[in-house]
Amino acid sequence: HLIAVLPGDGIGPEVAAEARRVLEATGLDLVFEEAPVGGAAYDAAGHPLPPATLDLAHRADAILFGAVGDARYDGLERALRPEQAILGLRKELGLFANLRPAKLFNGLEDASALRPEIAATIDLVIVRELTGDVYFGLKSRGTSAEGLREGRDLMRYDEAEVARIARVGFETARTRGSRLCSVDKANVLETSQLWRDVVIEVAADYPDVALTHMYVDNAAMQLVRDPGQFDVIVTGNLFGDILSDQASMCAGSIGMLPSAALGATGKGLYEPIHGSAPDIAGQGKANPCAAILSAAMLLRHSLGEAAAADRIEAAVAAAIAGGARTADLGGNLSTRGMADRILAGL
């Protein structure tokens, strides 16, 4: 299996290195190849997603991604900014389904801004559509009929795009609590009305999954009020961007949460949900858990190695329960030190 390692910017290289070390420790037959991405790639090759990096991503069976972004690149035109690398990879590789689990780890009850008894109930997965919506609809800057500067972005979905992500939502719910909440804004948007219609149609194939619908503004409230009510949430690209970050923060430990971006084949891109954190880059302080848990998702979803994934996840949970803490969790373990604790438990 060829694993593309795209470390990226800021703390990306530090956490990706530890995730790679954990993958190597599984004893599985894996080949690693590295390439620059994001700001690092812009510096090296003039583009956040250079052809050689994209080519590696195409050849690989799975992609281990660090993080991209740095304020240094804010002045560049949008097409050259680090974030375009991740948008480009999603689109080029057809990675339409983003899986974002959010749960509270035993021992981290105090890390959440929510009351401990509410935070403890969080155990959900957000399934976010990743290659459509207003992210990828026609965009333009222009002049209005009145001669004013104008910005435009088309929000759109077609039934095939909605149906395939809905299926991922239902399938994910089946592996868990069999409850799926579809989030939209059907009282205002045609895109959402189509979304709701199609999700209901697809539901006919999943009579064993309990489907509910919620408006996005209400979902943002409910994720604070009673996050324990959710099992799996399926939603569009834009709403998913907002709600998944909110849910992660409710769980209290964005240094702990992984994500997967999957396509129709087994290939996937795996990345911690945290960003590049330029302020602590290069200091060996970053929490590697989210990257290591992303590596576990890689084993499960792209390589079919569920047992190895389970072992890694158990080792992370055990390290945390045993008191291992990086700075973000109020401790003083280094990035490497935290990974060592996890490796010791493997």
Ligand X SMILES: CC(C)[C@H](C(=O)O)[C@@H](O)C(=O)O
Q: Identify whether the C-beta of residue 99 lies closer than 8 Å to the C-beta of residue 259.
A: yes
What's the token pair of residue 343? 């490796």
Q: In terms of CB distance, is 4 or 308 closer to ligand X?
A: 4
Q: Which of 135, 157, 206, 270 is catalytic?
A: 135
Nearer to ligand X, 271 or 305 (CB): 271
Window contacting a copy of itself (CB under 8 A); options: 22-30, 131-139, 277-285, 302-310? 131-139
- The CA angle 94-95-101, to the nearest 5 degrees, is 170
CA-to-CA distance for 276 and 161, rounded, in angstroms?
Answer: 30
Min dist CB 57 to ligand X, Å, is: 16
Taking the least distance from each CB to ligand X, the nearer of 59 and 225 is 225
Distance between the two ends of the chain, CA-based, in angstroms? 21
Task: Please say if 91 is a catalytic residue.
Answer: no
Told to check if 185 binds a copy of itself by CB under 8 A, we report yes
Distance of alpha carbon 159 from alpha carbon 102, whole angstroms: 28
86 binds, among ligand X, a copy of itself, none (CB under 5 to 8 A by kind): ligand X
Is residue 217 part of the annotated active site? The answer reads yes
Q: Which of 48, 2, 1 is nearest to 276 (CA)?
A: 48
287 is in an annotated binding site: yes
Provide the mask over 86-125, with x wherever binding to a copy of itself is found by CB under 8 A and - wherever it is not: -x-------------------------xxx--x-------
Nearest approach, Cβ of residue 260 and ligand X (Å): 12
Count of alpha carbons within 13 angstroms of residue 171, beta-carbon side = 8
C-alpha to C-alpha distance for 160 and 149, rounded to whole angstroms: 34
Site for a copy of itself in 238-277 (CB under 8 A): 238-239, 241-246, 248-250, 254
Among ligand X, a copy of itself, none, what binds residue 194 when CB lies within 5 to 8 Å by partner kind? a copy of itself
Q: Which is nearer to ligand X, 83 or 123 (CB)?
A: 83
Residue 9 contacts residue 40 (beta carbons within 8 Å): yes
279 DSSP assignment: G
Sign of CA dihedral 221, 223, 227, 232: positive
Considering only 71, 79, 148, 204, the residue that binds a copy of itself (CB under 8 A) is 148
As a whole number of angstroms, the distance between CA 105 and CA 256 comes to: 8
Annotation says 184 is catalytic? no
Q: Which residues are catalytic?
A: 135, 185, 217, 241, 245
Annotated binding site for NAD(+): 275-287
Specify binding-site residues for Mg(2+): 217, 241, 245
